[in-house]
Structure 1
Amino acid sequence: MTTIPSIDLVDALASEYADKSPSEILALALSQQGEISISFSGAEDVVLIDMASHLGKPFRVFSLDTGRLHAETYQFIEKVREHYKIDIEICFPESDAVQKLVTEKGLFSFYKDEHKECCGIRKVQPLRKKLATLDGWITGQRKDQSPGTRDDIPVVQADVGFSGPGKQLIKYNPLANWSSSDVWNYIRMMEIPYNSLHEKGYISIGCEPCTRPVLPNQHEREGRWWWEEATHKECGLHAGNLK
């Protein structure tokens, strides 16, 4: 197994692997010494799980349960767990923080004062807690998902947003150079599970109150937090990408 890349090696790895296949980038990530896990929520992530299952290397998977997901998303998580016969480590928000938010501001405060506070409690804090136990994580980010914030995603990067004192977290983005068509061609070819909401016009799927189907020719992220400006369409999980 390789050791955890130092800050001086991350850029070199990103350059070396920039044009390699997702499977090769994934194999690099899974060979890193330390605790590594695939972050799972959507179609891109199940592609990574499928690729990992063919590499013959042990791998871990975690997922965030915000408490506001669609019923179809919970069914999808269970379908993936059963299909691959894997454990999925579910991360929950702190109940006291959720209760305080709901008590003081109600269940839909994000429609009035933006989504950042709710996402911070339900998604970012649980993710930060999880990543504090890891040395690296693997995401399904693609450059074309959000041209304003993700178009410069490297395939390997130091995660400055979630690294802590004396500890550098590495983030691997094996699908950075893939398009949505690439993802769905793989899903169809390999006949792997996907969220049934995709059959109803949903492309980018988050929490139920903050996600809706998109119209023809709309960008996939337009279905997320549609009441806000397009430049704000990040929940904070990948804050290091923001410019």
Structure 2
Amino acid sequence: MTISPSVTKPRTMKRSRCFAAAEPLMSDTLAAKTEAAIAVLREIAAAHSPAVFANSFGAEDMVLTHLIASEKIDIALFAIDTGRLPAETYTLMAEVEKRYGIALGLIFPERAAVERFVSDHGINGFYDSVELRKACCHARKVEPLQRALAGKAAWVTGLRAAQSTTRDTLQVKANDTANGLLKFSPLADWSEAEVWEFIRTHKLPYNALHDQGYPSLGCAPCTRAIQPGEDVRAGRWWWENPETKECGLHMVDGRLQRIKADPTSQRADSPLHS
């Protein structure tokens, strides 16, 4: 994995707040990766403003939220409220705002687009075909994301290399040609185990659905708990073939970044974050 020199050598090398004396200790490897992620975030804020973080309230996003908020890094946080999110996700939104004293920028789908889809295809028409499911994703997720990124120089995501079929080419810094800006993945080289080690060490809030067999989260009607032995993303768009499971949010250099199982992750037959 290649990281541009401008990202790996931040202008400011001050010790991060994540290593204050009152904080529990992390493994040396995770501590080093945490400092590297903070350096990336600081450089984004310094060299690629305005920058935003797209928070979908997964486990990785809780790590990035903590780093941005606790280090007081000038990267705005936003979330897309599709109108079909699980109740547990809304609960976590409120908990995050209270813990960090921030106001999340919520982006909503265009009302007319959603009403047109429901009128033409029914409230759950996305179950009827891959094309209709992708149309629903576009109205509720892709188009709102495009609006949120308009006029921005860079955006931050919680993507990790171990989740992507393009893992050999996933970069910390990439050119998002679909949206016309830079895209950063500061946790690109983190494993799922390291994400949960960080969450446990810092006692971060996380989505309660993770404790109910949901390793991957999305809209409520499109996500289910996985069964013992299933792939960690088997619960996303569970009625479709694995080859069609994407929503179009993550394009780099004109290519879709499909998500696959992290080989280091825990499956449904063992604790997700024990």
TM range (shorter): 0.7 to 0.9
Can you give the 5+ residue segments of structure 1 that lack an aligned partner in the other structure? Answer: 1-10, 164-168
Out of 172, 184, 188, the position equivalent to 1:155 is 172
Q: Does 1:124 align with 2:136?
A: no
Q: Does 1:51 align with 2:61?
A: no
Q: Does 1:181 align with 2:193?
A: yes
Go from structure 1 to structure 2 and tell me whether the alpha carbon gap of 1:238 and 1:85 turns closer, same or farther (over 3 Å shift).
same
Go from structure 1 to structure 2 and tell me whether the alpha carbon gap of 1:193 and 1:149 turns closer, same or farther (over 3 Å shift).
same
Aligned counterpart, 1:95: 111
How many residue pairs align between the two structures? 227
CA contact (8 A) 2:7 2:43 kept: no
Aligned counterpart, 1:6: none
Q: Which has the higher helix share?
A: 1
Q: Which has the higher contact order (CA 8 A, sep 6+)?
A: 1
Aligned counterpart, 1:8: none
Go from structure 1 to structure 2 and tell me whether the alpha carbon gap of 1:230 and 1:148 turns closer, same or farther (over 3 Å shift).
farther
Go from structure 1 to structure 2 and tell me whether the alpha carbon gap of 1:94 and 1:26 turns closer, same or farther (over 3 Å shift).
same
Aligned counterpart, 1:198: 210
Q: Does 1:70 align with 2:70?
A: no
Amino acid at match of 1:203: P
Go from structure 1 to structure 2 and tell me whether the alpha carbon gap of 1:116 and 1:87 turns closer, same or farther (over 3 Å shift).
same
Percent of aligned positions that are identical: 41
Aligned counterpart, 2:260: none
Out of 208, 211, 229, the position equivalent to 2:223 is 211
Instruction: Pick which of 49-58 and 182-191 moved more.
Output: 49-58
Amino acid at match of 2:76: R
Task: State the TM-score, normalizing by the size of structure 1.
Answer: 0.86
Out of 4, 13, 17, the position equivalent to 1:13 is 4
SS of equivalent to 2:106: strand
Q: Does 1:242 align with 2:259?
A: no
Aligned counterpart, 2:27: none
Question: What are the superposed Cα offsets for residues 16-72 of structure 1, whole Å, 9 maximum, x if unpaired?
Answer: 64x962222222222224211111012211200111223233331000000000011
Query: What do you get for the CA RMSD once the two structures are aligned?
Result: 2.2
Go from structure 1 to structure 2 and tell me whether the alpha carbon gap of 1:87 and 1:29 turns closer, same or farther (over 3 Å shift).
same
Q: Does 1:220 align with 2:235?
A: no
Q: Which has the larger radius of gyration?
A: 2
CA contact (8 A) 1:144 1:151 kept: no
Task: State the TM-score, normalizing by the size of structure 2.
Answer: 0.77
Instruction: Pick which of 87-96 and 208-217 moved more.
Output: 208-217
- In 1: Cα distance, 2:240 partner to 2:41 partner: 34
